[in-house]
Structure formats: structure tokens, C-alpha cells
A and B are shown apart, each in its own frame.
Chain A
Amino acid sequence: MTNPQLSKKSNKFLEDLRAYLFAKGKKFEEIKEITNELEMHLLEAEKNGKPIEKIVGNSPAEYMEMISKEMDIDVSGWFKYILLIIIGSFTFKIFSDVSKGELAYSVFEIVGHIADSILFIILLFAAVKFISKRQLSDTKAILIVTPIILIEMGIFVGIIYFNNRIDSPMIHFGETGTWLAVALSAILIIGMTLWAKTSVLVVVLLLLFLPDYLLSFTSLQLEMQLIISLLITYGGIALYLWLVFPKEK
């Protein structure tokens, strides 16, 4: 996505602007339009020996905000992602749990995971906004995203831990219910992949099951396996969102 004819500084600015507008929930087409236009402008300006400050001013953050203010928020797009991640994570959970027998979840578990997913999305988008607006380096970006992943993992482990100790009503799916849930999950995943026209579900699915599966061949302790697999899964998802998603469109 970087333009070899442009300076490193200009490329970084365009990338950060793209990520910032994406995290602000702006429409993909509009993001593409304005970043393309600015790319062309920067190209011509650099050819004529103008520094990037002449174009975006002394505060790129202020300039990004100025652009963002003129763009509408893509509510349906946002809703699409949140729904995608929440339902997606549930369908994945169903897939992994069904191998251990009939499905049964406690109310605490269900509510906990929904709240956890929402929190993860909010924190991640806030981080992308923070990082891109300040044009932070990749190292600093990793330093900011890592605690979010750790918090997410902590809550995830916490839900599992407290689920066995807190008494909340269980919902048993039974044989028919289990198969119905699995079939529904499969339909949802296929449907959402086609609807959203994105590889996100396939990538997340692989990130969720491949580490588990591969680690089961190692001689590592079960707890260690769980921790490593979680780290790969959430780290991978975060990395995917941060690196690939804004550029894919």
C-alpha cells in the first residue's frame, strides 16, 4: 500500500490517517477517496520540493481531526464489526465446545463473554485511534496494544475461573439443541463471510483452533498450552486488525 515514489514521512502519515479514520468508524469508500487524493497531492508537492508540513501543517493530529470532522460515521459498518466479532466468537466457542460433548453454558459465562468482547473492541479501537493520531512508531504501538491483550486474556481466564465458583443458572442445550446450535453457527459463519466480504472470520477461526490443535502435540503442560494458545489467538487478531484490515479495503 505504500507508494515508493513518496517519502517515508508522507507514507507514514497516509497510513496513520487511514488507520485513524478507520478506527473512527468512517466509511471505507470515503477513507479511500480522501487518502488517494492526499497521496496524489503529496506526490506532486514532493516533486516540487515542498515539505509535508506545507500540506498537513505543523500538527498532523489536528489535520486528521479536521478531515475526520467532515466525514460521516458509518453506523451500519460499525454495527457490522461488533456483531461480527461477538457472534463470531460465540460460534467459535460452540465449535470448540461441541467436540467435548453436549453444549451447556451458564448465564454468567454468556454475559461475561459478551461484555468481554465489547470491552475488547472498544479498547482496541481506542488504541488504534490513539496510536495513529500521534503517529507513534510500531514499537510504541505494540507497547500500547500488549496490555490490552493481557487485560483481555485476564478477563477471559477470570470468566473461566469464576464460572466454576459462582452459582448462576445453567442453560443445557440437549442433543437436538446442540446440533441446532452447531448448524446455526456454521450457517452464520458462511453467511457473514459472504456478507461482509472479508477474510476476518477465516483468519480468526484459524487463529483460534490451529494453536490449540498444534500445541496438543507438544509436551507442554495443559495450562501452558492454554496460555500460549490464547496469546497467539488474541495477539494474532489484534495484529490482523491493525495491519491488514484498514489496508485491505
Chain B
Amino acid sequence: MSSTQMLKGIIDGCVLAIIKDKEVYGYELAEKLEAYGFESFSEGTIYPMLMRMQREELVTATFKKSTAGPRRKYYSLTQKGEEELQQFIYRWKQLQQSVNQVLRFESDD
């Protein structure tokens, strides 16, 4: 698995976590991801991702007037999205634990 492929599933989970915290619009979401250190990806890739999540009913979108003028599309988490996020957190903790174990016991000597 390439690092971009691995990153894809992880970004999915992080996007859900960010949206759960507070509803966001596209640019805001990209900025937050970058602020957390995901800098290598192209910002635009969040849109196909959000489109897929909308189709899978993990997120919903509403249009709101912004102070900047035109309407912005804000994303929020659905019930299904929250469940998916919980599963991601569980999977991530498992994976993290396994990787940590391997690294601790195999690379120390």
C-alpha cells in the first residue's frame, strides 16, 4: 500500500472528526487539515471525498449566506457519519496499538 493510499482512509476519518466538532465549509476544512499537519495533499481532493460522503449519507450539506457574499456550502455529520467515526476511532486505536507493539519489540534490538 502506498502512503497516499494509506493516508486516504485516515484523512476520511479525520474529516469526519473535524466535521463532528463543528460544521464547516470546504476551505475551512482544508485549512484545518493543514493546520493539523496534513500538508502533502491537494486541497481540492476534499471535494470528491465530501461528494462521496454525501452519497453514503455520512455528511449532509446546507447552504448559508456568508459575510463574504455568496452562499457557502456547510457540511455536518449525520447519525450514520457519527457511527462511522466511532468505528474509525476504534480501528485507528487498534492499528496504532499494533504498530506500536511491533515497533517496540522488533526494532529495539
Contact of B70 with A40 in the complex, beta carbons under 8 Å: yes
- Does residue B52 face the partner (Cβ distance < 8 Å to A)? yes
Residues of A bordering B, CB below 8 Å? 33-34, 36-38, 40-41, 44-45, 50, 53-57, 63, 66-67, 69-71
Contact of B30 with A41 in the complex, beta carbons under 8 Å: yes
Contact of B55 with A70 in the complex, beta carbons under 8 Å: yes
Q: Which stretch, B41-49, B81-89, B94-102, touches the partner chain A?
A: B41-49
Size bracket of the B interface? 10 to 19
CB distance from A30 to the nearest CB of B (A): 9
CA A44 to CA B70, docked complex, whole Å: 12
- Taking CB atoms, residues of chain A closer than 8 Å to B70 are 36, 40
- Taking CB atoms, residues of chain A closer than 8 Å to B44 are 38, 41, 55-57, 63
CA A54 to CA B38, docked complex, whole Å: 13
Write out, one digit per residue, whether chain B residues 32-72 have a CB within 8 A of any chain A CB (1) or not (0): 00000000001111011001100100000000000000101
A57-B44, A70-B48 known; A37 vs B55 contact (CB < 8 Å): no
Residues of B bordering A, CB below 8 Å? 25-27, 30, 42-45, 47-48, 51-52, 55, 70, 72-73
CA A67 to CA B47, docked complex, whole Å: 7
CA A70 to CA B73, docked complex, whole Å: 17
CA A57 to CA B27, docked complex, whole Å: 15
Listed A/B pairs (29) with beta-carbon separation below 8 Å? A33-B73, A34-B51, A36-B70, A37-B26, A37-B73, A38-B47, A40-B25, A40-B26, A40-B27, A40-B72, A41-B26, A41-B27, A41-B30, A41-B44, A44-B27, A45-B27, A53-B42, A54-B42, A55-B42, A56-B42, A56-B44, A57-B42, A57-B45, A63-B44, A67-B47, A67-B51, A69-B48, A70-B51, A70-B52
- Taking CB atoms, residues of chain B closer than 8 Å to A66 are 45, 48
- Extra contacts, 15 of them, besides A37-B73, A55-B43 (Cβ < 8 A), are A36-B70, A37-B26, A37-B47, A40-B27, A40-B70, A41-B44, A45-B27, A57-B42, A57-B45, A63-B44, A66-B45, A67-B48, A67-B51, A70-B51, A70-B52
